[in-house]
Structure 1
Amino acid sequence: MSKQQERPLPAFAARETFFTTAKTGGAEISIAGVPLDIATTNRAGARDGPAAVRRASRMAGGTYPDLWADLYDLDFADVGNFAVLMGKLDESLALIEQQALEHEHLIAVGGDHLVTLPLLRAAAKKHGGPLGLVHFDAHVDTWAENYGVAVTHGTNFRIAINEGLVDPERMVQVGIRCRVEPEVWQWTLDQGVTIITAEDVHMSNPADIATRIHEVVGDEAKTYLTFDIDCFDPSCAPGTGTPEMGGLLAWQARAILTRLGGINFIGMDMVEVAPAYDVGEITALNGASVMAFYMGLLAAAKR
């Protein structure tokens, strides 16, 4: 076998890289940490997300019965953490975009959700925009500003839409349940974005939600996946900066994600894991599992 999981060590002793890979570059898929959290509007700490998810990912790789696809059949590498400039937001965003452009298919681990903006800028340049977007979150992240600031982890997708990085008519948000002003909600809908609330998910079923996602983004055009860990209910993900009650349970997110096969994903990120607030590493494990299911979709597509 050419699988990267051929390792003699038990999980607790395995190397702390993403999914224990020994590769540090030169792979078809790059996994990078993006430890930036200076755009956070509530609890800071997502800068430590990449390290926590790396550790938890030792228990998240391999084959799952959902797909019967082994992520270790993929050629992937842990390329380390992207460089950021301490306390300098604009410069850090430019630096993240520059580094992201060096990778063909990037899986990024934040950091707060603003890191998605430079990642989308890079993806749109590399793959051609506007892109479709599948966005799991508790928050719409389409505010014009947060607390008088125009560039935060809550304004990233308004900026992305206005810059033409994503096609709002091929953008679907799943798990939304935040406090939000009516004008922000309406602006989002007016752009053509499809909002599937957490209650919509709870009152429906994962298969129907996945079907709706397929209908919105299509299966041919290039699409990006972004997953904010606060899409999960705090019972499943306490370790995040802005938790919201009533979110998706882990089984629901898993069942939806594993039904997204066939979508032409060209990259993803998983953000907002803040391990200082975690309990028993469950947030980090759920974050690593989200990545594993995404990689399972890629592995299934190669069969």
Structure 2
Amino acid sequence: MLTLGGDHSISLPLLRAHAAVHGPLALLQFDAHTDTWADDDPTRIDHGTMFYKAVKEGLIDTARSVQVGIRTTNPDTLGITVIDAPWVHDHGPRATVARIREVLGDAPVYLSFDIDALDPAFAPGTGTPVWGGLSSAQAAAMLRGLAGTRVVGADVVEVSPPFDPTGATAIAGAHVAVELMCLYCAARRNKGEA
């Protein structure tokens, strides 16, 4: 399933549904924030805690998970590999994809793309923009470079058109969604399900 959403907290019920079918998933998250803030209140789910809760529920295989484009600090990675935006800028999309593939292996992957992974110059229409992010060209190269990974589900979240009267953020989100559909279809074709 590819889900187009608002608040990133929608990833938690989506992960629950996909993990019910595929077992614990590798998470591939493109984002400015890790969204793994600890919270001991089991009733609280928001766009900063949902992956913490997913890890605690056993939905995510942290040893096979990667967060890309991170630009904020959360000292507890929960065992998830973090490839921050400066690393991507220094090493480029090709090296980033190689590192992502190394961590994911052949695990079933849930790919979550928060539009704030992109720098606000490319996607200003989001609730928590952080400068120094990925360019549209970097994101496109990385998503295309991931062809063949076992993507079983994905989302594009945090696109807020009212915050961007130019429409650039919605256009970027639509392009990301198309790339995610291509990844999913390629994974099914490689598995012989197409």
**Structure 2 length as normaliser, TM-score?**
0.91
Which residue identity is paired with 1:163?
A: E
- 2:119 maps to 1:258: no
Which residue identity is paired with 2:66?
A: V
- Mapping of residues 70-149 of structure 1, within 5 Å: 106-127=1-22, 129-145=23-39
- Mapping of residues 1-303 of structure 1, within 5 Å: 106-127=1-22, 129-145=23-39, 150-178=44-72, 180=73, 184-185=74-75, 187-188=76-77, 191-218=78-105, 220-301=106-187, 302=189
CA-atom RMSD in angstroms? 1.6
Identify, as 1 or 2, the structure richer in helix. Answer: 2
Which residue identity is paired with 1:248?
A: L
* Deviation, structure 1 residue 150: 3.9
Is the 8 Å Cα contact of residues 238 and 279 (structure 1) preserved in structure 2? no
SS at match of 1:204: helix
Is the 8 Å Cα contact of residues 135 and 226 (structure 1) preserved in structure 2? yes
CA displacement, residues 11-41 of structure 1 (integer Å, 9 cap, x when unaligned): xxxxxxxxxxxxxxxxxxxxxxxxxxxxxxx
Q: State how far apart, in whole Å, the 2-side matches of 1:292 and 1:256 are.
A: 14
Q: State how far apart, in whole Å, the 1-side matches of 2:13 and 2:180 are.
A: 21
Q: Which has the larger radius of gyration?
A: 1
SS at match of 1:230: helix
Which residue identity is paired with 1:158?
A: Y
SS at match of 1:280: coil
* Deviation, structure 1 residue 155: 0.4
SS at match of 2:140: helix
Q: State how far apart, in whole Å, the 1-side matches of 2:182 and 2:2 are.
A: 13
CA displacement, residues 162-215 of structure 1 (integer Å, 9 cap, x when unaligned): 00000011110000002x3xxx42x21xx3210000100111111110011100
Percent of pairs identical after alignment?
51
* Deviation, structure 1 residue 279: 3.5
Aligned residues: 187
**Structure 1 length as normaliser, TM-score?**
0.59
